[in-house]
Amino acid sequence: MLRERLRIAVIGGGGHVGLPLSLVLAEEGYQVTVIDIDETRLQDLRENKFPFLERGGEELLHKTKEFDIQYTSDFSTISNQEVIIFTVGTPVDEHLNPSYNALYSALDTIKPHIRNGQTFIMRSTLFPGTSDRIKALLKKDGFDVGVSFCPERIAQGYAIEEIRSLPQIISGDSEKSVAIAKQIFGKIASSVVEVSIEEAEIAKLFTNTWRYIKFSIANQFYMLAEEKGLDFGKIHNAITYNYPRANDFPKAGFAAGPCLFKDTMQLAAYSRNNFHLGHSAMLINEGLPNFLVEKAKKITSLEGKNVGILGMAFKPNNDDFRESLAYKLKRLLEYENAEVYCTDVYIKDPRFVNLNEMMERCDVIFVGCPHNEYRELNMTGKLLVDCWDTFPQK
């Protein structure tokens, strides 16, 4: 019989995945310890400051007085926990292979505090086989802990709502690990779906890669249409209007951010670089900024011109700039010796200018990220380069 109010530590609990989950678990009545190495972030959280844009995040954080939750960088608290959830970042390295430095560093740090019988839930996206490898490494060091993999599938910025509304894929190395995953996520998710650990690991990579490839199809079609002098926005509207089979046909746009590209890359590494569809998608999506610069150059020279980039986040209505293709666009424009002015509604960066200044200074404007606030802007007289179809009335 499992205890109702499990003691749960969330490692990397100050991050985009870890923090919403920690708050939801605490709201549900679990005893939650958020463990992170980012002291500034921990202090912000103790002072009720939510560190990034997350719908419902601030309200939930403000309710924390009612919850049993604490924020710490003291890893010795691990010895007191029944369940340890890992949510640290898992990027790709300079050779485009999975890099698990943060994960292994966290595991090394907690080793002196691990107790047999604890359950480790891996929630970071993992290269298939990693959960089993972690279990084997710990076993070699004499630890007898359960390992479960329960991937996060939220859309960034909507985690608080989606943790509760989405089904949760769960897996575990034993009946106890699965039972614990079921108990925790059965309470907070809409339902749970059980598969084996490796199936769960690959299911997460397939989910993100499928999305990434869908975006690449739209981007390829955009480039194809534009090269023929056709308006892809109008064509997209014609295809999707009242046509249910095209409901999930995305518009063109920069497909990037901290997850989709690197998860497609992980799948490519998993397939021993024999993943033609994934590699093509990466070339197409990563090539879009270059296509836009070349498109503008066919109309005017960018040399010495004031050029604006409207929006720098990796996706609309968000403050996250990690792996945003707007920054790649900026570099490409600088190679053309353009004077580049960047602006963003949500990202505070002293190098950016405000929207009015950008509109006054720049006659050439690229849309880097179409936040809702830009939709009503008057672009008359500007050379507008916009793959997102931000201003369909143009």
Ligand X SMILES: NC(=O)c1ccc[n+]([C@@H]2O[C@H](COP(=O)([O-])OP(=O)(O)OC[C@H]3O[C@@H](n4cnc5c(N)ncnc54)[C@H](O)[C@@H]3O)[C@@H](O)[C@H]2O)c1
What is the Rg, in whole angstroms, of the alpha carbon atoms belonging to the chain?
23
3-state secondary structure of 126: coil
Ramachandran region, residue 68 (left: φ > 0; alpha: ψ -120 to 50; beta: rest): beta
DSSP E strand stretches across the chain: 7-11, 31-35, 69-72, 83-86, 119-122, 146-149, 168-170, 192-194, 306-310, 339-343, 364-367, 383-385
| Angle formed at CA 294 by CA 292 and CA 297, multiple of 5 degrees | 110
CB of 305 to ligand X, least distance (A): 35
CB of 38 to ligand X, least distance (A): 4
Residue 87 as a binder of ligand X (CB under 6 A): the answer is yes
Residue 259 as a binder of ligand X (CB under 6 A): the answer is yes
Query: Residue 53 or residue 379: which is nearer to ligand X going by CB?
Result: 53
> Residue 10's beta-bridge partner residues?
34, 85
Q: How far apart are CA 195 and CA 288, in angstroms?
A: 37
Edge-to-edge strand list for the sheet holding 146-149: 69-72, 31-35, 7-11, 83-86, 119-122, 146-149
Residues 293-352 that bind ligand X (CB under 6 A): none
DSSP characters for 50-70? Answer: --S--TTHHHHHHGGGGS-EE
Residue 105 as a binder of ligand X (CB under 6 A): the answer is yes
Choose the binding region for ligand X from 13-21, 286-294, 337-345, 384-392 (rule: CB under 6 A): 13-21
Query: Residue 90 or residue 118: which is nearer to ligand X going by CB?
Result: 90
CB of 61 to ligand X, least distance (A): 15
CB of 165 to ligand X, least distance (A): 15
Residue 17 as a binder of ligand X (CB under 6 A): the answer is yes
Of the candidates 390, 388, 385, the residue with the CA atom closest to the CA atom of residue 302: 385
Distance of CA 333 to the CA centre of its chain: 26
Choose the binding region for ligand X from 8-16, 191-199, 233-241, 384-392 (rule: CB under 6 A): 8-16
Choose the binding region for ligand X from 10-18, 131-139, 224-232, 287-295 (rule: CB under 6 A): 10-18
**Binding-site size, ligand X (CB under 6 A):** 26
φ, ψ for residue 141, nearest 5 deg: -85, 5
CB of 380 to ligand X, least distance (A): 37
Q: Which of 8, 9, 10, 11 binds ligand X (CB under 6 A)?
A: 11
Interaction mask 155-194, ligand X, x per CB under 6 A: -x--------------------------------------
The pair of three-digit structure tokens given for residue 385, joined into one six-digit string:
């380069």
Q: Which of 27, 54, 82, 152 binds ligand X (CB under 6 A)?
A: 152
Of the candidates 189, 186, 181, the residue with the CA atom closest to the CA atom of residue 163: 189
Q: Which of 22, 34, 36, 222 binds ligand X (CB under 6 A)?
A: 36
Return the exposure string of 89-114: e unless at least 16 CB atoms fall within 10 Å of the residue's CB, then b. bbbbeeeeebbbebbeebbebbeebb
Residues 110-139 that bind ligand X (CB under 6 A): 124-125
Query: Residue 41 or residue 330: which is nearer to ligand X going by CB?
Result: 41
Query: Residue 180 or residue 259: which is nearer to ligand X going by CB?
Result: 259
Query: Residue 41 or residue 236: which is nearer to ligand X going by CB?
Result: 41
Residue 70 as a binder of ligand X (CB under 6 A): the answer is no
Q: DSSP code of 90?
A: -
CB atoms near residue 275 (< 10 Å)? 18
Query: Residue 107 or residue 365: which is nearer to ligand X going by CB?
Result: 107
Instruction: Note whether 249 and 188 are within 8 A (CB).
Output: no
The pair of three-digit structure tokens given for residue 52, joined into one six-digit string:
């990034």
Residue 16 as a binder of ligand X (CB under 6 A): the answer is yes
CB of 267 to ligand X, least distance (A): 13
Residue 14 as a binder of ligand X (CB under 6 A): the answer is yes
Q: How far apart are CA 136 and CA 280, in angstroms?
A: 35
CB of 89 to ligand X, least distance (A): 4
Name the closest residue to ligand X (Cβ).
15
Q: Which residues bind ligand X (CB under 6 A)?
A: 11-12, 14-18, 35-38, 41, 87-90, 102, 105-106, 124-125, 152, 154, 156, 258-259
